[in-house]
Amino acid sequence: MGIRYIEFNVSKQKYALPINSVKEVISTNQKITNIPNTPSYYLGIVNLRGMVIPIIDLKNKMKLKDEKISEEEAFIILETNGKMVGIKVDSVNKVFVANEEDLTDPPTIETDPNNQFVERLYKTEENITIIMSIKKMFSLMEEKQTNLKAA
């Protein structure tokens, strides 16, 4: 039995996260409150039914080209280790099931900072979807927040 993933686009590339880490997908027309002195990829916070959730611009965080704004932009609300965060994506495509034989390890490219989030690659005949590691993403963000507080 395979693992279920949610697939989304960021700068014309397909990415995916395990569906069990996704709480919900919401519209980007939420009111965002900016927080001063935060990294450029940190869009701010939203109030989602009484929960304050930080929103990260994934395109900016991964230093990808800024393509034109899509009408399909969305925030994917994720949870890991009891913490919630939203990531802004260009569009949400589908939920799919991947079997182990469809997955491969990414090549080792030490100079690419985006590889720190890559866990596996999902191959089909037409595409490659990058499976992201939500744990690595969260731990790096928490590490940077701790460094900001210490400064």
* Mean pLDDT computed over 115-143: 79
**Domain ranges, residue 112:** 3-150
Q: Which amino acid is at 60?
A: N
Q: What is the pLDDT of residues 29-64, one digit of tens each?
A: 989 999 999 988 899 999 999 999 999 998 888 888
User: For the chain, what is the domain count?
Assistant: 1
Residue 117's φ and ψ, nearest 5 degrees, are -95, -10
CATH number at residue 64: 2.40.50.180
Residues 42, 39, 145, 140: is their CA dihedral positive or negative? positive
Quote the pTM value: 0.84
Task: Annotate 43-60 with three-state secondary structure.
Answer: EEEEEECCEEEEEEEHHH
